[in-house]
Amino acid sequence: MNRSQAPQSGREGFMTIGTSVPRVDSYDKAAGRTKYVDDLCSSRALVAKILHSNVAHAYVKSIDTSEAEKIPGVVGVFTCFDVPEWPFPTAGHPWSTQKDHQDVCDRHLLTRHVRYYGDDVAAVVAVDEVTAIHAVQAIKVEYEVLPFVLDPQEAMKDGAVLLHKKYPHNILAHTRNCHGNYEEAIREPGLVKVEGWYDTPTVQHCHIENAECFAYMENGIITVVASTQIPHIVRRCVAMALGVDWGKVRLIKPYIGGGFGDKQDALYEPLCAWLTTQVGGRPVKLECTREETFANCRVRHAIRYHLISWVKPDGTLVARKAECYSNQGAYASHGHGVNAKGMNSIPQLYPCPNIECDSWTVFTNMQVAGAMRGYGMPQVTFALESHVQDICEKLHLDPMEYHRRALMPVGFTDSFSKNELYSDTFNEVLTVGERAIGFNRKYKLYRNQTGRYRRGVGFAAFWYNTAVWPISLETSSCRMILNQDGSVQLQVGETEIGQGADTAFAQMAADTIGVPLDKVHVVSCQDTAVTPYGTGAYASRQTYAAGMAIRGCAEKFRQKILENAFPYTRMQPYLMDIADGNIIRNTDGRKLMSLGEFATMKLYDRENNEHITCEKSTQLKTNAYSFGCGFAEVEVDTQLCRVKVLKLVNVHDAGRIINPALARAQVQGGMSMGIGYALSEKMLYDPKTGRLLNGNLLDYKLSTPMDHPSLEVHFVENPEPTSAYGTKALGEPPVIPVSPAIRNAILNATGVACMEIPMRPHYLYEKFREAGLIGEE
Amino acid sequence: MYDIGKIYEAHTVEEAVNLRLEHPEAVIIAGGSDVLIKVRSGKLAGADLISIQGVDELRGVHMEKDGTLVIGSLTSFSHITADPLIGSCIRVLGEAADKVGGPQIRAVGTVGGNTCNGVTSADTASTLLAYDAIVELAGGTEDEGRTGGNAENAGGQMARNPGAGGADSQRRIARRLVPLEKFYLGPGRTDVRPGEIQTCLRIPVESYENHYGFYIKFGMRNAMEIATVGCSVNVKLSEDKKYLDDLRIAFGVAGPVPMRAHETEKKFKGAALTAQTVTEIGSSVLSEVHPRDSWRAPKNMRRHLCRTMTQDALCEAVRRAGGMIAGMKADQDGARDFMDITLFPDAGAADGQE
């Protein structure tokens, strides 16, 4: 089943799908010619800078802008008292026409109620950046300071300060997932109880290109050019924030330097759009610094888990309880969806007859948590797969054997999503991973070591799904336009954000229409004025959702060409096909005419002219499981409290792989993110002020290539039956298994069970001292 | 966009000194890897700058007749690492310079800037300190140049034929020598006086001859890092390689400025090379280091690192000197990353079957 080493040629009737064709954007990106937001902005644009609060929780009493306005070059100073009164949402979800499913409207362009350290209270528009900074520094704000709370469980307590009046105990949402009877079940005699608290950190996406946009007005239309993953959704958020008709806003998304979910939110596009309306429509650029990207954009939710399992001595799971406390920060953004997704995976991954899961998403005076690669799954998988290892340790069970026994069985169908496990994925990926790292042998060899340097192996399985149905609407649209030379323009609303989506889309279109890859021109830039509606890049839905629209459109497009070819070929449409850019007779394979000849004849036909185009809007009413596992081998220096990752292996069943080279690169990128999440990344906040302490790339310890071992990737390809091209999620999952795999490897090496990530030297120093591995002074 | 006032450019030491005298408030900028960060963060926003980037005579490494190694202050980290004289005489400095930031920083950052910046974490500072480096400064008034105290500090030496590049400027410019340890006045403060610039760092022959050393940088990752603790150890062994004839231990981030563990050095000079000695030296430095508690790392952890890294760096320095430490187990030995220890001969390579 392992095809990762398969020869790089087409298969199963496809010409390009399954082959590692070069990225369609690779040459320009390598040569530095690709244009990003900043390259497109006029050097004459005005520059906006924001005044961020230096308190974590307060009401703004007054703002004195007089000194700032006097500075030469300042065009305008705007405060929280100047902006529209109505609140708006920012989450990158498809809009819901059902009121109770709509995103929470809790943001203002600038706020009078400061809810986190760094909240936006005023903005300056000036002729250049230095002038704008000077003006921001000259603004004087008077605050009525309020108490603040940073921890979700503290924020839930009686008497804790409230962030939003509508939400008692600061609870944005609480949901449950229960079946059977937990309280009854745990009374069974002879059960072993395994309990643990598992903690995950606040981390940031650290996309290379900071959040950035510029806006201007033209003929009454407010145009925003933004580094975003979700142009059509941001257009709606901007219109809602400004209170203008949605059609009055135009959103343009050029190439972007990564997003990882941070840009699956309206960030500063609404404010920038509003500022241009305040300065007569002149272009205004709003560029976050790296520090602002850290402190004022979105972060991954820090979620704390309390897991209790009741198992028989042979490991059979009888009852399980899970409490999930998610730190939402100051505003709702993506809100409870992230925590709920994680919680709901618990009873699916390890089916259990009696289960009680609760999840709370809680407002605190921290910065806002939103979407980030994996959407709650890296958090819950650290907790759950650490916990499963802890069960194995306590009962002296072999973890490999235990996983094979306890994980979701083939044929499992989730009653809510109707997702089904069609193949024996878990056994297949575990076999590949076990062999790649030699787990079974090393796991026994590495136990009970002494000495300073110790090695260990560990692994974790993971659950994921591909798209957002049935939680939200799933839709994608595609447009194809035939050029005179027989080449095709391809447009979709799903965006290229560095992951290689354009290349996969081009491969799909080329193979289904029947043209060579170089005859497909992907229009990479999404412009809401011309791009068909699609919700953008999020979840791991690009090849799945856009794939359906592309296949639907390509088949219709192909049929339209064949029907229109009759006058020139005298052949019935059903006797013809398109192959390698030619119209052929399928009865004998004879080439009748090239697609270019057809396109030219048809477009300039004086009797029957037509411009051959095709458009297809596709709704999805399915979703797809996408599973896999990760293995780690580490060496621990018990004295310097450092972990060296010797080897990482990820094994994914992502269905059919469209482009093996790009798929491998995407997995390696996710594994890299996983290393940082496991060992070094954590946003630190000053408990006295709520201020972010390490909001820069020096003090925030993103892992570097020097911290990476060889990253080994394997695919087990079980094509997804519900998918247009057999694909399912691959974008997010790679990050998920890494931190529990490393954690379990450290446990194997040292006998020390880490209960939080990142397992940085600070934490290991304390744990190793407790375990007596480090002597006192 | 950087908020910079005026920029003055010097091409000779004399021009630089004159600019320093004319614009006492202006800040010296060399590679810019520290100064530009301060301009951007606001600490030096709007500052006037004197660029010495064009003073080519301050670039490069050479050896004087008496064996003194002279390192021009503008020599970049990457050039220090690649320099053959550094490689043969004071290899540890090249290795320490190679641990600074990433390749881009090492291409622009200079050893002079690394010391003049005055921070305790500077990777080259602790290693230079372990080599008893002497700082040469040019400029200042004649009075200051003759100040007896400074000459005394430098062991009574006054440079007779100064200038890193050998070519002195036309006007006679006063030169002053200060031992690196005295050069640090406090966090971020160094003894560069009005009208002065640092011209070179001098390593006397007796500091490096027959000495072997090792530098360990402890950070949270293996690149793009500032030391949580840095430790540089130099040793000179007896002829039979069984005793420590000379021992120098220097730290970064064990106090407000780079520091030496003089008491420990004195106490263990002449000690026999045993596992016991290594352990005792590690414990002994704990009475000299005084790292602080900060959100970057707690004090107790830094102290533990000082002890462990001293032992590790000492072991590796001894190994480089050709010595053996009696009673030391292989897997307790220091600096694992640089040693070839097979923990599990039967585990095979990290790679399994494909």
For chain A, the domains span 39-146+205-296, 398-468+623-770, 475-619
Of B220, B223, B354, Cβ closest to residue A760 = B220
Q: Which residue has the tokens 């005005």?
A: A46
The answer on B87 and B73 residing in a single domain is yes
B280 close to B268: Cβ distance less than 8 angstroms = yes
Query: For residue B172, what pLDDT is reported?
Result: 74
Query: For residue B326, what pLDDT is reported?
Result: 86
Q: What is the per-residue pLDDT across A359-376, written as a single tens digit (0 to 9) for each? A: 999 999 999 999 999 999
Cα–Cα separations (whole angstroms), residue A42 to A47, A211, A289: 11, 18, 19
Look at residues A385, A374, A364, A384 and name the one whose alpha carbon lies nearest to residue A338.
A374
In a domain, B220, yes or no: yes
In a domain, B243, yes or no: yes
pLDDT grade, residue B143 (50/70/90)?
very low
The answer on B286 and B268 residing in a single domain is yes
Q: What's B286-335 look like in SS3? A: CCCCCCCCECCECHHHHHHHHHHHHHHHHHHHHHHCCCCCECCCHHHCCC
A310 close to A320: Cβ distance less than 8 angstroms = yes
A78 forms bridges with which residues in the sheet?
A123
Q: List own/partner pairs for B36-40 with CB under 8 A and 24 or more apart.
A: B36/B2, B39/B2, B39/B3, B39/B4, B40/B2
User: Quick one: closest CA in B to A775, which residue?
Assistant: B304
More confident: B163 or A612? A612
Q: How far apart are CA A554 and CA A550, in angstroms?
A: 6
The answer on B269 and B202 residing in a single domain is no
Range(s) of the domain holding residue B219:
210-336
DSSP B197: E
Domains A398-468+623-770 and A475-619 share a fold: yes
Q: How large is the average pLDDT for residues A68-84?
A: 98
Of B226, B298, B305, Cβ closest to residue A698 = B226
pLDDT grade, residue A12 (50/70/90)?
low
CB atoms within 10 A of CB B169: 15
Cα–Cα separations (whole angstroms), residue A681 to A36, A330, A636, A699: 28, 21, 18, 10
Residues 6+ apart with CB under 8 A from A589: none
Q: How far apart are CA A385 and CA A116, in angstroms?
A: 33
| Lowest pLDDT segment from A192-196, A415-419, A549-553 | A415-419
B301/A699 CB distance under 8 A = no
What's the count of helices (H) and strands (E) in chain B, helices before strands?
15, 14
A26 CA: distance to closest CA in chain B (Å): 24
Give the rounded percent of residues in chain A with a pLDDT score beyond 90: 97
User: Quick one: closest CA in B to A681, which residue?
Assistant: B220
Mutate to test the interface with B, among A206, A453, A672 (most CBs of B within 10 A): A453
Q: Is A551 exposed, middle or buried (0-12, 13-18, 19+ CB in 10 A)?
A: buried
CB atoms within 10 A of CB A31: 8
The answer on B222 and B184 residing in a single domain is no
User: Quick one: closest CA in A to B42, which residue?
Assistant: A133
Look at residues A289, A267, A211, A275 and name the one whose alpha carbon lies nearest to residue A77.
A275
B350/A453 CB distance under 8 A = no
In a domain, B267, yes or no: yes
A455/B348 CB distance under 8 A = no
The answer on B291 and B247 residing in a single domain is yes
A332 CA: distance to closest CA in chain B (Å): 29
Query: For residue B1, what pLDDT is reported?
Result: 85
B342 CA: distance to closest CA in chain A (Å): 10
The answer on B110 and B194 residing in a single domain is yes
Contacts of A698 in chain B (CB under 8 A): 224, 226
The answer on B190 and B66 residing in a single domain is yes
Instruction: Decide if B279 touches A, using CB distance below 8 A.
Output: no
B336/A637 CB distance under 8 A = yes
Q: How far apart are CA A766 and CA B300, in angstroms?
A: 10
**Mean predicted lDDT score pLDDT of chain A:** 96
Q: How large is the average pLDDT for residues A207-228?
A: 98
The answer on B47 and B76 residing in a single domain is no
A761/B220 CB distance under 8 A = yes
A710/B296 CB distance under 8 A = no
B29 close to B52: Cβ distance less than 8 angstroms = yes
DSSP A160: P
User: Quick one: closest CA in B to A453, which residue?
Assistant: B331
Report pTM: 0.95
Q: How far apart are CA A114 and CA A56, in angstroms?
A: 7
Among B157, B175, B207, the domain-final residue is B207
Mutate to test the interface with B, among A639, A647, A714 (most CBs of B within 10 A): A639
A455/B220 CB distance under 8 A = no
CB atoms within 10 A of CB B218: 24
B310 close to B285: Cβ distance less than 8 angstroms = yes
B96 close to B126: Cβ distance less than 8 angstroms = yes
Contacts of A707 in chain B (CB under 8 A): 221-223
Strands A591-594 and A642-653: unpaired
Q: What is the per-residue pLDDT across A569-618, written as a single tens digit (0 to 9) for each? A: 999 999 999 999 999 999 999 999 999 999 999 999 999 999 999 999 99
B68 CA: distance to closest CA in chain A (Å): 36
pLDDT grade, residue B331 (50/70/90)?
low
Angle, helices B275-285 vs B299-320, to 10°: value is 140
Q: How far apart are CA B90 and CA A593, in angstroms?
A: 75
Q: How far apart are CA A431 and CA A425, in angstroms?
A: 10
pLDDT grade, residue B328 (50/70/90)?
confident
Q: How large is the average pLDDT for residues A339-363?
A: 98
B87 CA: distance to closest CA in chain A (Å): 23
| Lowest pLDDT segment from A748-762, B146-160, B323-337 | B146-160
Torsion of CA A380, A385, A390, A391, to 10 degrees: 100
Look at residues B240, B137, B144 and name the one whose alpha carbon lies nearest to residue B198.
B137
Torsion of CA A232, A233, A238, A239, to 10 degrees: 70
Of B296, B298, B331, Cβ closest to residue A452 = B331
Query: For residue B332, what pLDDT is reported?
Result: 55
Q: How large is the average pLDDT for residues B205-209?
A: 97
- CATH code, domain with B66: 3.30.465.10
Assess whether the previous peptide bond of A758 is cis (omega < 30° from 0). Answer: yes
The answer on B203 and B74 residing in a single domain is yes
Residue type, A443: Y
pLDDT at B257 over 50: yes
| Lowest pLDDT segment from A129-138, A703-712, B45-54 | A703-712
The answer on B184 and B68 residing in a single domain is yes
pLDDT at B346 over 90: no
Instruction: Decide if B103 touches A, using CB distance below 8 A.
Output: no
Q: How large is the average pLDDT for residues A722-748?
A: 98
Of A701, A709, A710, Cβ closest to residue B220 = A701
A493 close to A534: Cβ distance less than 8 angstroms = yes
Mutate to test the interface with A, among B224, B278, B308 (most CBs of A within 10 A): B224
Q: How far apart are CA B40 and CA A298, in angstroms?
A: 23
A213 CA: distance to closest CA in chain B (Å): 17
pLDDT grade, residue A623 (50/70/90)?
very high
Q: How many CB pairs under 8 A join A and B?
A: 98
In a domain, B354, yes or no: no
A437 CA: distance to closest CA in chain B (Å): 5
Of A129, A684, A706, Cβ closest to residue B1 = A129
Q: How many domains does chain B have?
A: 3
pLDDT grade, residue A777 (50/70/90)?
confident
Q: What is the per-residue pLDDT across A16-70, written as a single tens digit (0 to 9) for each? A: 999 999 999 999 999 999 999 999 999 999 999 999 999 999 999 999 999 999 9
**Mean predicted lDDT score pLDDT of chain B:** 88
pLDDT at A204 over 60: yes
B218/A640 CB distance under 8 A = yes
The answer on B45 and B92 residing in a single domain is no
Q: What is the per-residue pLDDT across A493-528, written as a single tens digit (0 to 9) for each? A: 999 999 999 999 999 999 999 999 999 999 999 999
In a domain, B348, yes or no: no
Of A128, A436, A762, Cβ closest to residue B352 = A436
The answer on B303 and B267 residing in a single domain is yes
Give the rounded percent of residues in chain B with a pLDDT score beyond 90: 82
B268 close to B244: Cβ distance less than 8 angstroms = yes
Contacts of A455 in chain B (CB under 8 A): 343-344, 347
In a domain, B352, yes or no: no
Query: For residue B155, what pLDDT is reported?
Result: 41
Q: How large is the average pLDDT for residues A428-452?
A: 96
Query: For residue B152, what pLDDT is reported?
Result: 40
Contacts of A43 in chain B (CB under 8 A): none
Residues 6+ apart with CB under 8 A from A292: A50, A52, A210, A211
DSSP A464-521: -BSS-TTTS--EEEEEEEE-TTS-EEEEESS--SSSSHHHHHHHHHHHHHT--GGGEE
- CATH code, domain with B240: 3.30.390.50
Residues 6+ apart with CB under 8 A from A261: A205, A229, A298, A370, A371, A372, A373, A375, A538
CATH class of the domain comprising A475-619: alpha beta
pLDDT at A562 over 80: yes
Instruction: Decide if B27 touches A, using CB distance below 8 A.
Output: no
B211 close to B30: Cβ distance less than 8 angstroms = no
Q: Is A105 exposed, middle or buried (0-12, 13-18, 19+ CB in 10 A)?
A: middle
Q: Which residue has the tokens 């937001």?
A: A37
A327 close to A303: Cβ distance less than 8 angstroms = yes
Query: For residue A13, what pLDDT is reported?
Result: 73
Torsion of CA A487, A492, A495, A501, to 10 degrees: -50
Q: Which residue has the tokens 């897991």?
A: A307
Strands A221-226 and A249-253: parallel
DSSP B69: E
For residue A360, give the 3-state DSSP assignment.
strand
A451/B308 CB distance under 8 A = no
Q: How far apart are CA B300 and CA B279, in angstroms?
A: 18
pLDDT at A1 over 50: no
pLDDT grade, residue A402 (50/70/90)?
very high
Q: H-helix or E-strand containing A565?
A: helix A547-569
pLDDT at B145 over 70: no
The CATH number of the structural domain formed by A39-146+205-296 is 3.90.1170.50
Residues 6+ apart with CB under 8 A from A307: A195, A196, A198, A320, A321, A322, A383, A384, A387
Query: For residue B148, what pLDDT is reported?
Result: 38
Rg (chain B; Cα; Å) = 21
Residue type, A292: E
Residue type, A212: E
Q: How large is the average pLDDT for residues A242-269?
A: 98
A435/B223 CB distance under 8 A = no
The CATH number of the structural domain formed by A398-468+623-770 is 3.30.365.10
B180 close to B201: Cβ distance less than 8 angstroms = yes
Contacts of A446 in chain B (CB under 8 A): 344, 347
